[in-house]
Amino acid sequence: MKKYLLPSIKLTVLLLVLLAGIYPLIIAGIAKMAPGKGGGVTVTHNGKVVGYENIGQKFTDDKYFWSRPSTVDYNAAGSGGSNKAPGNPDYLKTVAERIDTFLAHNPDVKKADIPAELVTASASGLDPHLSPAAAYIQIARVAKARNIAPEKLKQLVDANTQAPVLGMLGPSTVNVLKLNVALDELK
């Protein structure tokens, strides 16, 4: 053991410099050329930063498209999911309440048509996206609250839908923050 102790310590120090010092600095340096300069990509509205593109926000107002339920209330100082098991009775009660709330705000929607993601909490608590179906289902409510033609909103959702990679890999998504910014800029 003794024979290997000093070499171990010295090699550890050298590797610390290389792997924990130089490596992240190289990445941080090159990332200066990336969108957001390596500090996260922000979204601006009326010349003001209103959030990060990849960090979801809470939208509860009828005139905005809602985001998914979050267990950290969309405060990105932390992150996490509910960790509720599929059969947990308390959890199922919460889901039932979310369904009722959604139906109360969207009287035109049939229960069977509610996409599951609107009544279930995301993994990060910061999910910035909805599926196109979950955006479409809210169009009637937003249209009524803003007095805009539903067709126009459908176009807006489609314009803000990100297609799968190469058109065939993975799900289609709608970024809720960008959609709502576009919504406020409509007129």
Partner 1 sequence: MTTEILGVIATYGLTLLLAWPLARYIVKVFKGEKTWSDFMAPMERLFFKISGIDPKEEMTWKEHLKALLTINLVWFVYAFFMLMFQDKLPLNPDGNPGQSADLAFNTAISFLVNCNLQHYSGETGVTYLTQLFVLAFLQFVTAATGIAALIVVFKAFKEKSTTKLGNFWDIFLKTNTRILLPLCIVIALILAFNGAPASFEGKDTVVTMQGDTVNVSRGPAAGFIAIKHLGTNGGGWFGANSCHPLENPNYITWMTEMVAQVVIPIAMVFALGMFINRRKFAYVIFGVMTIGMIILLIPTMMAEINGNPAIAHMGIQQLTGAMEGKEVRFGPAATGYWSTVTTIISTGSICGFHDSTMPMTGLMELLGMMLNCFYGGCGVGILNYYIFIIIAVFISGLMVGRTPELMGHKLEAREVKIAAIITLLSPFLILAGTALSSWILAHHPDANWAVKPSAWLNNPGYHGFSEMLYEYTSSNANNGSGFEGLGDGNVFWNVSTGFVLILGRFLPIIGPVAIAGIMASKKYIPESAGTLRTDSITFGAMTFAVIIVLTALSYFPALALGPIAEYFSLYR
For the segment 146-165, give every residue that binds partner 1 (CB under 8 A): 164-165
The window from 49-57, 144-152, 153-161 that contacts partner 1 (CB under 8 A) reads 49-57
**Cα 55 off chain centre by:** 5
Q: Hey, which residues between 58 and 77 contact partner 1 (CB under 8 A)?
A: 58-61, 64, 68, 74-77
79 vs 154, beta carbon nearer partner 1: 79
Nearer to partner 1, 39 or 151 (CB): 39
The one among 119, 137, 139, 156 contacting partner 1 by CB under 8 A: 119
- By CB under 8 A, residue 54 contacts partner 1: yes
Among the listed ranges 28-36, 141-149, 152-160, the one in contact with partner 1 (CB under 8 A) is: 28-36
**Rounded to whole angstroms, how far apart are CA atoms 155 and 110?**
22
Of 3 and 147, CB closest to partner 1:
3
Q: Which residues contact 180 (CB under 8 A, 6 or more apart)?
A: 59, 64, 65
| Backbone Cα Rg of the chain | 22
Give the burial class of 113: count Cβ atoms within 10 A of its Cβ; 0-12 exposed, 13-18 middle, 19 or more buried.
exposed
Answer whether 56's CB lies under 8 Å from 70's CB.
yes
